Structure 1
Amino acid sequence: MGSPRWRQTLTSSSPVLLQVAVFSHADVPDNQQHVLSGDKSNGATGNTLPPELPAAQHVQPGAGLVDAALVELRKLHQPLHYKIRKNPGILRTVLHLASKALPAIRLTAPSPASSHDAVSGPLLHATRLFEESAQKNNSDALYILGDMNFYGNFSHPRNLKTAFSYYQKLALLNGNSSAMYMMGVMYSTGVGGAVEPDQARALLYYTFAANQGHTRAEMAVAHRHYAGIGTTKNCETAVKYYKRVADKAIAWYRSGPPGGMSWISESHRIADELGGIYGVGASVSSSGQNAPHKNPTSDAQASIEDILEYLDLMSQKGDVKATFNLGRIFYDGQRNLPRDYVKAREYFLKVASKTWNKKGQVFENKTPSFHTISCRAAGYIGRMYLRGEGVEQNFRLAEFWFRRGNEQADQQSRHGLGLMYLNGYGVEQNLDLALKFFNAAAETVYPPSHVQLAALYLDQGQSDEDIYAANHHLDLAAKYYNMEAYYYIGEMTYFGLGRERQCEVALNYYKAVAEKVEPFVSSWAEANLAYEAGEIELAFLEYLHAAEQGYETAQNNVAYILDPQKSYLTIPQWLFPKAQKLTLLQNPTLALIYWTRSSRQGNIDATVKMGDYYLGGIGTDADVDKAVQCYTAASEHYQSAQALWNLGWMHENGIGLTQDYHLAKRYYDTALETNDEAYLPVSLSLLKLRARSAWNTFTNGRINSIQDEPTEKKEWSLSEWINNFLQDEMGYYGDDMYDGYEDAMPGADSDLGAFEEGDILETLVIMGLAAALVFLVLYRQQRQQAARRQQEDEARRQPQEQQGQGVGRAAGGAFANGQQQQQAGNGGFFPQPGAPGFGQWAVGGVGH
């Protein structure tokens, strides 16, 4: 062990190498680790305090003072982490609905004043006792004081610099892993200005803690080597630490009741509750394939309270399926709805009583579907007796209900019977019967049964056939996100057993296992409770731990809480004169760091946010080129309409990209194609863009204006032309083969396609020309008849002395007219060439 003098002379300014020497040679006795057991992997960070400290093997100096201080703390109110979620009131519900209705006009009021009062009463007395004990180098006192100043436990004023000094003193005292982990967090983030961010030191302290088995530190080290944070990427190092955590996670999972531990997943993104980072419709998380269902009859977006109320109403009307679903909801629970095994059992028994009487006989006139639902309820009841959930564990009753469920091939019942025969729970151990029931459940794809079968195949000697069968079952279970299947596949891939050894593949499976066991490795529940209670700073600190461990959702939450651009309309500060800003959350640089880490794990909206920060110089120096890179990455494969619109705007204004109205229009159009909810902003943008483009064209500007997209006409060779012609002919004749089907289908409307708009217009034009032609013919006939009558009147007015001559001329005229009529009769309706009326019909002679 290192010399005690070294530890006494080390201060906060001690060189890192000297601290390394201390930590490397520190032999941490068990009696100095009792409340700090090196790890808070059970989610006990923050305000939780054990009712009693485990007895130390050797009493530390100042232990009595710590015990007295703990007595004083228990006089205070329950800490935040013990609060139960309350149902939202009417006002909160209305405000929530209003925020959803106006996603783009979110209002943000200044944060309320801190609720931490000055230290007084039992808290003051306890603090003084802890400080007195800490002066005697009591490990428990040092750690508790560090937590009280870091988290603000028991309403103690939060002071991160003081917290760091206590953690550092404890780490230098005996190399405590929890203290070193907390120092790693603070060096990594520089939170609260306690220390300057230093990624190298953060990795150093994380590694010291991880090498002592601190679970959170192991995840933090693994993630840093995986993502290349403060060091180069190293898959082998990352997978080593992730495997350690995965091994612990599986051991913890299997330490529970038959079937393994169960818990409610708390990991989620805060922004998604409001439609995403950019609001409903503008975020990738709430648009496109992720858009909420628009079907008014769908209950996909209904609150859990509304669903429970509806199911309860239907259950009271005798709907057995509704009763069964109520039981499932209360059995499984979900975030914001704790499990209630008592209620769940009541609903399941109510369903079962509709099928079996007290003697176990099935009532008559029960449909198969009705019987199936009852058997599923029986499977849940059997599971509760097998695991002791809400009832005293009873293997005999578990088998009884499982056998009832097996009447209609219930998956859960068959799997439960398989577990009982495999492990001898209340029955004689029988591997053959276990295999029989597991195979029966697996036939209908029940993931836990597939995992059990895979494990049995791997235990049979590891022949090629066994390994192949195990892989088959594990792949099927992994499709349903089964954690044990992930672990087995990770193990087989890591060791190259039946699979090609691939470091990155094994790492991803181990990482998934580690992040799934939230109660064991993280404090998601405490973070969510703090956020819902309005303790935003405390929630931020809790999310910060999960973010350092590599949870993408936590990284997104930290960045979202720190984001200074959440709101587009801010309520003026003078309306809230007593309010003060939460200075801990004024850190845009840290926000950009976590947007970046979230983006690197595949979050598209976080990538767009990075572009916003680089474009606006938020948390960093403005860098338009990086903004373009972020928007381009987010717009690949048409994923983000927001990124596409941003690129169009940059082309329109020549910011970071060449000013080009034509390309700007193309990006705007693509944004609308990607997300139809972008119709209004895209339409307004195009309206302005067209006006600018028209003015640019009018003034002969240098900017490339909007142009029609050129259509390339391919030059065909003779062989290509003949081939295309023959294909068109074959297509024409091929269409004729299906003509008969149109008549055979009622309501077939393919014939309507013949009357295209162009054909109808052409028909109307022809009819109009024909009518005009008929009108002209009739008009000209009337004019000819009027001319002949005029000539006849003039002939009657001739003098009598010329009667003979007139008679001769009249006879000659009659003869000529007779000839003309004869020619007309022989030549048809129109006059023949050379006839007196031919000139009126000739081209250009109309009307003359």
Structure 2
Amino acid sequence: MAAALHRRLLLLAVLTVSALLPRAAAVRPFVLVLSGEDFLKDPSGAHPSLPSADGDSEDWDDFADDSPATDPLLSPSSWIPLLDPTTPSPSGDQQDPPSDALFVAGVRAMISAASSGDEAAFSTASAQIDAAATGGHPGAQSALAFLSGAGMARPVSRSRAFLLDKFAADAGDLQSKMALAYAYFRQEMYEEAVTLYAELAEAALTSSLISMEPPVIEPVRLHSGTEENKEALRKSRGEDDEDFQITEYQAQRGNAAAMYKLGLLYYYGLRGLRRDYGKSYYWFSKAVEKDEPRAMELMGEIFARGAGVERNYTLAYRWLRLAAQQEQYSAYNGLGYLYVKGYGVEKNLTKATVLYKSVAERGPWSSMSRWALESYLKGDIGKALLLYSRMADLGYEVAQSNAAWILDRYGDEHICMGESGFCSDMERHLRAHALWWQASEQGNEHAALLIGDAYYYGRGVGRDYERAAEAYMHAQSQSNAHAMFNLGYMHEHGHGLPLDLHLAKRYYDQAVEVDSAAKLPVMLALTSLWIRKNYAGSFMVNFIDSLPEMYPVVEEWVEDVLMDEGNATILTLFACLVTVLYLRERQRRQVVADNPQQPDGAPN
């Protein structure tokens, strides 16, 4: 009885499922989705800025990472989600570990404390970040490295900062890799720096492509509802496609963008076309004749890979260099590789590092500059200083000079966090000096000039004429007229440089050649030089030499005596009286001139 009942129930279940299947099929029809590769003879197409899958390009892709890179913008260690509330958290639905919560709370509190100028809250936030770093959180280790290197809420320790960045970088933190690469770069450890910057440059380009461009090969849906998707299929019919024919017509009429597009389609075998390196080379050649920079970059890639042409690294270097001159940053990547390997150009790790660095700095972590600028424009100087300081730690020259300028410009405000509480004047001067120095190392002539002034006048550092001369030399090499004038002055007086009046005159003359606005100070300096040369040891020379010592005394007298409120009022009234008397006398003379006295005996 039980067995019969069981068989009946089983039969009923089978019939029920059988009855439901057709309805399910009617409600949810079967969809066949094909990728673009199904329409290609050669399925190895890839994005134009990513490495090709060709077997002969193995050497070219030494720095490529075959594994899909995660978007650094949403990495757990990024500050961006804390600055931009619209950015989704990368953790998704997974429960965050305690160290994640500590890190997020610590960084958020640190930014808030910098914004409000609350040194106690900043110290508490630093302790939270420290606790998260102790728990092994890479982002917290990276943030703690930044605080240790800058001396915020803890003593300055470059060695500890380097060690923490190393731990975080080994755990995959890209911002620490940036900081570590910059540290290697400053120490001229180019082999280590170029490896890190190459990886970061690849991540930067990949992230840029993901965020700015759609995939080249998209899945093609065969139907639209119950009908065949003729429009989508038409675009995959290769040279028979109407859009392709229009593009080809435009290219034949001399449109550079159309030439580049055709070359791209043939190079990667897109839109149903058979990959044809010969045709791609033809159209890219036509495009570069019209100065199409994207085609130049791909011409360099063609010669580097030997794709349809004989491999020629010299020509690859030529085309990549032309593309780089027009700021095609993927070309910077290719040039960096050539310099690393010494293909077509003499091996030069220094140049390779600089090229990779310029690409890496365009990664998603650079978006922090947007929030720093926005904070500054809103008057939130403390937050702007913190964010610029963080970017300065990653090696951004603009951020280094911006942070240093804020420290100098807003020194009287409580925005600089020091080892314990707010920065002392010495801490602020030293931090600004370090930032200006880093910026000067990266070619900022104004920063080099300020470094020279700091050493010459002893501002924040001990007076050192030789180091001042070194900084001025660096600024002078970048055609800075002010630095040239200062070098002339130092040669004239023998400060940090040999006493040499001829070299002094040469530097003064160069300053005028570079900047015509220097004519007046140079004229005075040349006059002083002439007096010094022809009347050495005279009273005039001694008077000129005493001017720098007299200037502070005169300035103090003007400020304390002339600019005193009562004296200033008397001087103003006196100036007004003199002006009135002058105008009255001028008016009287004008009247006399208009009515000359007639001679005696003249007829009426």
How far apart in 2 are the matches of 1:664 and 1:503?
37
In the other structure, the counterpart of 2:20 is none
Residue 485 to residue 636, structure 1, CA distance change in 2 (3 Å): closer
Which of residues 245, 257, 264 is equivalent to 1:412?
A: 257
Residue 258 to residue 35, structure 1, CA distance change in 2 (3 Å): closer
Which of residues 429, 439, 459 is equivalent to 1:618?
A: 459
Q: CA deviation at 1:427?
A: 4.4
How far apart in 1 are the matches of 2:318 and 2:509?
46
Q: CA deviation at 1:142?
A: 1.2
In the other structure, the counterpart of 2:564 is none
Contact kept in structure 2, 1:518 and 1:524, CA below 8 Å: no
Which of residues 503, 508, 529 is equivalent to 2:349?
A: 503
In the other structure, the counterpart of 1:202 is 161
How far apart in 1 are the matches of 2:103 and 2:407?
27
Partner SS for 2:83: coil
Aligned pairs for 1:16-31 within 5 A: none
In the other structure, the counterpart of 2:75 is 37
Aligned pairs for 1:347-746 within 5 A: 399=244, 402-403=247-248, 405-406=250-251, 408-431=253-276, 432-460=278-306, 465-515=311-361, 517-563=362-408, 581-584=414-417, 587-636=428-477, 639-650=479-490, 655-656=495-496, 667-686=507-526, 698=538
Q: CA deviation at 1:691?
A: 6.5
Contact kept in structure 2, 1:624 and 1:655, CA below 8 Å: yes
Residue 143 to residue 401, structure 1, CA distance change in 2 (3 Å): farther
Q: CA deviation at 1:494?
A: 2.3
Residue 247 to residue 207, structure 1, CA distance change in 2 (3 Å): same
Aligned pairs for 1:58-73 within 5 A: 59=95
Gaps of 5+ in 2: 1-71, 217-234, 418-422, 546-604
In the other structure, the counterpart of 1:224 is 183
Q: CA deviation at 1:201?
A: 0.5
Residue 48 to residue 650, structure 1, CA distance change in 2 (3 Å): farther
AA aligned opposite 1:40: S
Residue 211 to residue 197, structure 1, CA distance change in 2 (3 Å): same
In the other structure, the counterpart of 1:180 is 141
Aligned pairs for 1:105-144 within 5 A: 138-144=98-104
Contact kept in structure 2, 1:44 and 1:523, CA below 8 Å: no
Contact kept in structure 1, 2:302 and 2:308, CA below 8 Å: no
Q: CA deviation at 1:614?
A: 0.9
How far apart in 2 are the matches of 1:149 and 1:143?
10
Aligned pairs, how many?
441
Instruction: Confirm whether residue 171 of structure 1 aligns to residue 133 of structure 2.
Output: yes
Q: CA deviation at 1:687?
A: 5.1
Q: CA deviation at 1:180?
A: 0.7
Contact kept in structure 2, 1:438 and 1:453, CA below 8 Å: yes
How far apart in 1 are the matches of 2:470 and 2:147?
31
How far apart in 1 are the matches of 2:165 and 2:499?
48
What is the TM-score when the length of structure 1 is the normalising length? 0.46
Aligned pairs for 1:772-787 within 5 A: none
Q: CA deviation at 1:473?
A: 2.8
How far apart in 2 are the matches of 1:618 and 1:691?
31
Residue 702 to residue 487, structure 1, CA distance change in 2 (3 Å): same
Partner SS for 1:195: coil
Residue 397 to residue 678, structure 1, CA distance change in 2 (3 Å): farther
AA aligned opposite 1:237: E
Residue 219 to residue 695, structure 1, CA distance change in 2 (3 Å): same
Contact kept in structure 2, 1:148 and 1:154, CA below 8 Å: no
Residue 253 to residue 670, structure 1, CA distance change in 2 (3 Å): closer
How far apart in 2 are the matches of 1:660 and 1:495?
46
Which of residues 195, 202, 206 is equivalent to 1:247?
A: 202
Partner SS for 1:445: coil
Q: CA deviation at 1:147?
A: 1.8
Q: Structure 1 or 2: larger helix share?
A: 2
Q: CA deviation at 1:161?
A: 1.7
Q: CA deviation at 1:255?
A: 3.5
In the other structure, the counterpart of 2:22 is none
Q: CA deviation at 1:649?
A: 3.7
Instruction: Confirm whether residue 55 of structure 1 aligns to residue 96 of structure 2.
Output: no
AA aligned opposite 1:534: G
Partner SS for 1:523: helix
Partner SS for 1:563: helix
AA aligned opposite 1:190: G
CA distances 1:762-795 after superposition (whole Å, capped 9, x unpaired) = xxxxxxxxxxxxxxxxxxxxxxxxxxxxxxxxxx
Which of residues 159, 162, 177 is equivalent to 2:124?
A: 162
What is the TM-score when the length of structure 2 is the normalising length? 0.63
Contact kept in structure 2, 1:648 and 1:667, CA below 8 Å: yes
Contact kept in structure 1, 2:314 and 2:345, CA below 8 Å: no
AA aligned opposite 1:641: A
CA distances 1:334-387 after superposition (whole Å, capped 9, x unpaired) = xxxxxxxxxxxxxxxxxxxxxxxxxxxxxxxxxxxxxxxxxxxxxxxxxxxx9x
CA distances 1:425-445 after superposition (whole Å, capped 9, x unpaired) = 544344254333222212223
Once the two structures are overlaid, the 10-residue window that deviates more, 528-537 or 644-653, is 644-653
Q: CA deviation at 1:677?
A: 0.8
Contact kept in structure 1, 2:304 and 2:311, CA below 8 Å: no
Residue 226 to residue 54, structure 1, CA distance change in 2 (3 Å): closer
CA distances 1:513-544 after superposition (whole Å, capped 9, x unpaired) = 212x2435552222222222222222222222
Contact kept in structure 1, 2:81 and 2:88, CA below 8 Å: no
In the other structure, the counterpart of 1:151 is 111
How far apart in 2 are the matches of 1:396 and 1:155?
58
Contact kept in structure 1, 2:115 and 2:380, CA below 8 Å: no
Contact kept in structure 1, 2:115 and 2:382, CA below 8 Å: no
How far apart in 1 are the matches of 2:410 and 2:504?
25
How far apart in 2 are the matches of 1:475 and 1:259?
27
How far apart in 2 are the matches of 1:197 and 1:671?
39
How far apart in 2 are the matches of 1:46 and 1:463?
49
How far apart in 2 are the matches of 1:565 and 1:651?
34
Q: CA deviation at 1:214?
A: 1.3
In the other structure, the counterpart of 1:287 is none
Gaps of 5+ in 1: 1-33, 61-136, 262-385, 387-394, 567-572, 574-579, 706-848
Contact kept in structure 2, 1:46 and 1:542, CA below 8 Å: no
In the other structure, the counterpart of 2:42 is none
CA distances 1:450-480 after superposition (whole Å, capped 9, x unpaired) = 2223334444479864545434432332332
How far apart in 1 are the matches of 2:518 and 2:540?
32
Residue 649 to residue 155, structure 1, CA distance change in 2 (3 Å): closer
How far apart in 2 are the matches of 1:471 and 1:659?
47
Residue 616 to residue 46, structure 1, CA distance change in 2 (3 Å): farther
Instruction: Report runs of 4+ in structure 1 exceeding 6 Å deviation.
Output: 153-157, 395-398, 658-663, 691-695, 700-705
Contact kept in structure 1, 2:109 and 2:125, CA below 8 Å: yes
How far apart in 1 are the matches of 2:303 and 2:348?
22
